[in-house]
Amino acid sequence: MAQFYLRDGKIKEAEALLEPLLSRRRFHHLEFAAFCAAQVEIFLAQGNRDAASSWLEMWASIDPDNPVLANLRQRVERPGGMRRLWGGRG
- Residue 88, classed as helix, strand or coil, is coil
CA–CA separation, 1 and 54 (whole Å): 22
pLDDT given for residue 78 in this prediction: 83
Domain edges within the chain: 2-85
CA–CA separation, 20 and 88 (whole Å): 30
Phi, psi of 17 (to 5 degrees): -70, -35
Q: Which tens digits make up the pLDDT trace of 27-45?
A: 998 999 999 999 999 999 9
Phi, psi of 48 (to 5 degrees): -100, 80
- Put simply, whether the predicted model's pTM sits higher than 0.85 gets the answer no
pLDDT given for residue 90 in this prediction: 42
- What residues in the chain have per-residue pLDDT under 70? 79-90
pLDDT given for residue 47 in this prediction: 92
How many residues are recorded in the chain?
Answer: 90
